Amino acid sequence: MPNDSDRRNLRPLSLHVPEPRFRPGDVVDFNDFEIPAAGSVDRPAIDADPSAMTGHAYTLVRVLDDEGRAIGPWDPKLSPERLIRMLRHMALTRAYDDRMYRAQRQGKTSFYMKCTGEEATAIGAAYALAGDDMVFPSYRQQGILIARDWPLIDMMYQVYSNKGDRLKGRQMPIMYSARDASFFSISGNLATQYPQAVGFAMASAAKGDTRIAAAWCGEGSTAEGDFHSAMTFASVYRAPVILNVINNQWAISSFSGFAGAEATTFAARAVGYGIAGLRVDGNDALAVYAATEWAAERARNNYGPTLIEHFTYRSEGHSTSDDPTKYRSAEEKVKWPLGDPIARLKQHLILIGAWDEDRQAAMDVEVAEEVRAAQKEAEKLGILADGLKQPFDSMFEDVFEEMPWHLKEQRDQMTAEREAAGI
């Protein structure tokens, strides 16, 4: 043990505080970004031992190259018709986001979160999963519901908390729940859906069912304890689950370095747990589809879980309560080197002769009108700004199968007090 005189000769300790590459007003230059060539990453067998595919956690699975060609072993070789449907669902998701964002700015609802630039991470994955596979989303996976053809009007009812809201105004706007779509309730508490997804997958395996589970969280949520608990259980019990991490570079006003991005990739979280890990170009819908398809096949054949990091970019604010101009350069979203997922899939379809700019323009008008018409109908049942749309006594319902005496007593007391006050 050093004495005081020895300690005087030691260099003082210093604390490392992560810093983003660019701040507001900075010129953005991504030229030093190391992006593996499309098609350069091998596709392991679905029964590959995780220890033999460690490198897949440190590279980037890509299918579409800069010209829009689909190349390499991960090319899922989807039909043009299927790709066009995927493109339409991505465009519909973006149109839905744009209109609901404007609705919030108009005071019709209190809160909204867009997934602009991240549509492929939800749509591509949804297309690769079975329709009854249980999904445990975070709050930027509205595209899964849209890809599963859930009615836009029902989603809008929830955003407005109006008379049509099946959740009776009990959830924040955008925290959807759709059991018939195998879409688990969204929670505002970060990473809670991870152990829930693993638990569902374990139960499915224990019962000898065929349904697998998939969960999503942001890269910042990998710092939560729930994330690591889920990883432990998934590894130990080889749960048939796909654990998706959406690395969109930014959490709430803080960049990914605070969650560990400076030290390693988020896919590398899988290595320490003995789980298969893939790092994927999240703006490449074909790569997202292919990685999800691989992980789903692995899970269905009892080879265990997969962690997929979707490397993408949040081009908008974290939510309508956030102003990204306060903490990042405005140039980032236009100079992001992996481009826009909708533009890239469109480019591919045009290249193979299945699409053109005129049809794209017509589709954009069509989806915008579809969203506008749904909004018009949804608002007939009210908007959040109009006030409470559910009966007051509904707050006591749906907790127990049969309402216990003390809740009945509280309900009756509340009703009597409101009547006495003339409310």
CA dihedral 378, 380, 383, 389 (to 10 degrees): -110
- Judge whether residue 71 has pLDDT over 80: yes
pTM score: 0.95
318 catalytic, yes or no? yes
Q: Which CATH number fits domain 30-386: 3.30.360.10, 3.40.50.970, 3.40.50.2300, 3.40.50.720?
A: 3.40.50.970
Tokens 């990998």 appear where? 222
SS3 308: strand
Catalytic-role residue among 314, 328, 344, 348: 314
Identify the band that residue 388 occupies on the pLDDT scale cut at 50, 70 and 90: confident
Burial class (CB in 10 A: 0-12, 13-18, 19+), 296: buried
Residue whose tokens read 């469109």: 346
Q: Is 194 a catalytic residue?
A: no
pLDDT of residue 354: 98
- Quick one: average pLDDT of 23-42? 94
Q: Rounded mean pLDDT of the chain?
A: 95
Asked whether the predicted pLDDT for residue 207 surpasses 70, the reply is yes
Catalytic residue among 62, 94, 279, 318: 318
As a whole number of angstroms, the distance between CA 357 and CA 352 comes to 13
pLDDT bin (cut points 50, 70, 90) of residue 1 is low
What are the φ/ψ torsions at residue 359 (nearest 5 degrees)?
Answer: -65, -35
CA 127 to chain CA centroid, nearest Å: 14
Type and span of the H or E element at 359 = helix 357-378
- What are the strands of the beta sheet with 306-311, ordered from one edge? 134-136, 213-218, 241-247, 306-311, 276-281
Q: How far is 193 from 210, CA to CA, in rounded Å?
A: 20
Domain definitions of the chain by residue range = 30-386, 391-423
For the stretch 310-360, pLDDT in tens is: 999 999 999 999 999 999 999 999 999 999 999 999 999 999 999 999 999
pLDDT at 143: 98
Specify whether the CB–CB gap between 136 and 213 falls below 8 A.
yes
Confidence grade of residue 32 (pLDDT, cut at 50, 70, 90): confident
Q: Which of the 8 DSSP states describes residue 329?
A: -
| Catalytic residue (one of 170, 327, 359, 411) | 327
Query: pLDDT tens digit string along 287-309?
Result: 999 999 999 999 999 999 999 99
CA atoms within 13 A on the CB side of 166: 13
The pLDDT value given to residue 253 = 83
Does the annotation mark 228 as catalytic? Answer: no
| Cα separation, 50 vs 268, whole angstroms | 11
> For 124-155, what is each residue's pLDDT tens digit?
999 999 999 999 999 999 999 999 999 999 99
pLDDT digits (tens, 9 = 90+) for 359-382: 999 999 999 999 999 999 999 999
